Structure 1
Amino acid sequence: MLKVDNIHTYYGSIHALKGVSLEINEGEIVTLIGANGAGKSTTLMSISGVTRAKKGSVTFMGKDITKVSTDKIVAMGVTQVPEGRMIFPALTVEENLLMGSYLRKDKDVVVKDKRMVYELFPVLSERRKQHGGTLSGGEQQMLAIGRALMARPALLLLDEPSLGLAPIVVENIFEVIKKINSTGTTVLLVEQNAQMALAAADRAYVLATGEVIMEGTSEELLNDPKVRAAYLGEE
């Protein structure tokens, strides 16, 4: 479904990604783990076109999207939930959700998808007329995910969905991620909570200073002593 081949991405003179390669198959949950500054978010932004890779290629469904504009990448079926949620605080919950469907013309199906989001996140249905800025952090994260789902993505990119949330809210978010995946949406997950990420994912890549240093099934990495010491807080 997605192939990232030897991409190099820069921020000015800073070489953020140094030849990252990874593959995602349809129906999987794949996670990227690593320390702060490892290049996890930059990898997502290079896939979605927010930050351009200077070298290498990104292929989605057999098409090279390395230089395709972000809105066209969304229209092709790749949607990103950014770190920090980035909802529209002055818009209501309902208006935020509808912003996620702005490229779609199938208005009847949009209504059904909105109902599906409310079923996934009942609290959003209760708060549909509230402004996004009045929601709690967990509710804003639910809204950000819901807004992304309104684009009907084939591939959902999630950047740090658990950041700053209470443990019980994090558990809820991860349950929803698994539910979204079970309905046919492929997920690429960037997450600092390596334990939760590996428990939810099928496969994982470990990034360090802009390079993939390990890859394998989630079970393999969960049982790897180096991963356990570096990312799971074990001696």
Structure 2
Amino acid sequence: MHETVRALRTLRGQWAALLLTIETPPADHWPPRQLAHTIREGDDELLVEDRAPLVLREHPAPLNLGALDTGRAVERLIFDLADTLAAAVQRTEQGDPRAWECADPSAPDSRRAAGSRAHGLHWACVWIEGRVQDEDTAPEHELDGALAAPPFEVLPLYLLHEARRTARIAEARVLRALGLDRRETPLPEPCPWCAGELTLHSAPDGPPSVTCSGGRGCSAPVPLDGWERARVWEWDDLPELIAALGLDLGI
């Protein structure tokens, strides 16, 4: 359950960035695009939450087809999972704000035809998280004090496993599209201080960092790693490294 919830929250946290990436030409993973707000202070256009819609739209001319394909695939995975869970455990009546409404292609209104999918991936992730955590599965008191059947049943174990599998696949696809998956990427430029090899380290659970293979022989003004084999530029040090390399974020 905890892994599923973590993956769903990662999806929600990175979804706006993915939608913004669809409108941005593909770029190398270096320099890290996350540093744009640090390098170009005062540029309000770089605030992802303000720029990007949280619902995937039809883009007449997307600039990053890979990101668009990822967005469509992830939406399909999450929406289909919500449909599956609703069919198995949802007992609440239509119109209840807690209900997941499956798509109805025969509905005359386009929003009704889309069902709860019209609310976007954020709502789907929140709803699935509720099912995974068995929310609203206890009998409810009615006005006369009697107990009514709960709106949802407890999620069976096989669907809990399916939710975990699907959420982790979707999370991995989004992180990979954003260059935030766990990877080590050699940089084309040598270290400005010792000409050693620079390597970009990225991971889904923290900001990127860069190491120099020069170790103690490198005079860069950053500390050594725990093994004292490489100089390390952590998140706060990366702008200085980018400036020393004479690079531009290109955003």
Bigger helix share: 2
What range describes the TM-score normalised by the shorter chain of this pair? under 0.3
Bigger strand share: 1
Provide the TM-score with structure 1 as the length reference.
0.25
Higher relative contact order (CA closer than 8 Å, sequence separation 6+): 1
